[in-house]
Amino acid sequence: DIVMTQSPDSLAVSLGERATINCKSSQSVLDSSNSKNNLTWYQQKPGQPPKLLIHWATTRESGVPDRFSGSGSGTDFTLTISSLQAEDVAIYYCQQYYSSPWTFGQGTKVEIK
Amino acid sequence: EVQLVESGGDLVQPGRPLRLSCVASGFSFGDYGMHWVRQAPGKGLEWVSTISWNSGTVDYADSVKGRFTISRDNARNSLYLHMNNLREEDTALYYCVRDRGFRGTALVADFWGQGSLVTVSS
C-alpha cells in the first residue's frame, strides 16, 4: 500500500498570508504513460463532506479560487494557499490514485492566526 | 445539479448486518464509477470500496474485504453497500462518492453525498 504522509498536522496562518501543506507518498505516483501524477487534494470544512480542489497534482477543479495551487512530482507534493481567507479554514487531505488501495494523508488542519 | 443521497445508517450491534443505499441524480449514473469512503468520528478519510460503471470491476479495502459487498442498479440510479459482521471499528460516516472520470474507477471524488452514519456498538 502507498502511505501518504502530510506535514504539518496543523498550521495557523494570518489572513492574507501564505499557507503551505506538504504531502509525501511512500512510492512514486507518477504515471509514466502520461507523465501525470495521480494525486488529489481535498478540502473539508466542519460538518461538510470533502470537496475536490485539485487533481493530477496541479489541475484545479472548476470554480476553485486561483489562490489554491498544487505542485510537486513523484513522491513530494505541496498545496499552497497564496493568500489565506477566512473561508479557507478547513482540513486538507491529499490522496493518491496511482494504485489501489486508494489512500489518503492524515489531514492538515488550517486555522487563522 | 449532481446529488448523492445516502440512507440506511443506523445503530447496530457487533456482528449484525446493515445495508446502505445511495440515490444519485443530476447526471448519467450508469456512465460513472462509484465509491464508498468512510470517516470515523473525528478521524480522517478511508476508502472502502469501488464499483465500475457496469459492475464489471469491484474493489475493497482489506479492512472490509469478505464482509462488505458493493453493488449498483443503474436502472434505479442507486448504489449499495451491504455490510456483514459489523465491528466497532466500522463506526463511521459513510460517504457515497462519484468518480470524476467517465467510466473511471481510480478514486478521484468530484461529488460527495452528505454521508450516512453507521454506529456499531453493543
Tell me the Ramachandran region of residue A74: left when phi exceeds 0, alpha when psi lies from -120 to 50, beta otherwise: left
Determine the pLDDT at residue A68: 98
**DSSP-H helix ranges across chain A:** none
Say whether A102 and B100 touch across the interface (CB within 8 A): no
Does residue A65 carry a pLDDT above 90? Answer: yes
Determine the pLDDT at residue B102: 78
Contacts of A97 in chain B (CB under 8 A): 106-108
Average pLDDT for chain A: 97
The alpha carbon of residue A102 is apart from the nearest alpha carbon of chain B, in Å, by: 6
pLDDT digits (tens, 9 = 90+) for B43-91: 999 999 999 999 999 999 999 999 999 999 999 999 999 999 999 999 9
Determine the pLDDT at residue B27: 97
Does residue B105 carry a pLDDT above 90? Answer: no
Collect all residues with Cβ–Cβ distance below 8 Å to A104 and sequence separation of at least 6: A4, A93, A94, A95, B44, B45, B46, B47
Write out the three cell numbers for B99: 468518480
The alpha carbon of residue A70 is apart from the nearest alpha carbon of chain B, in Å, by: 15
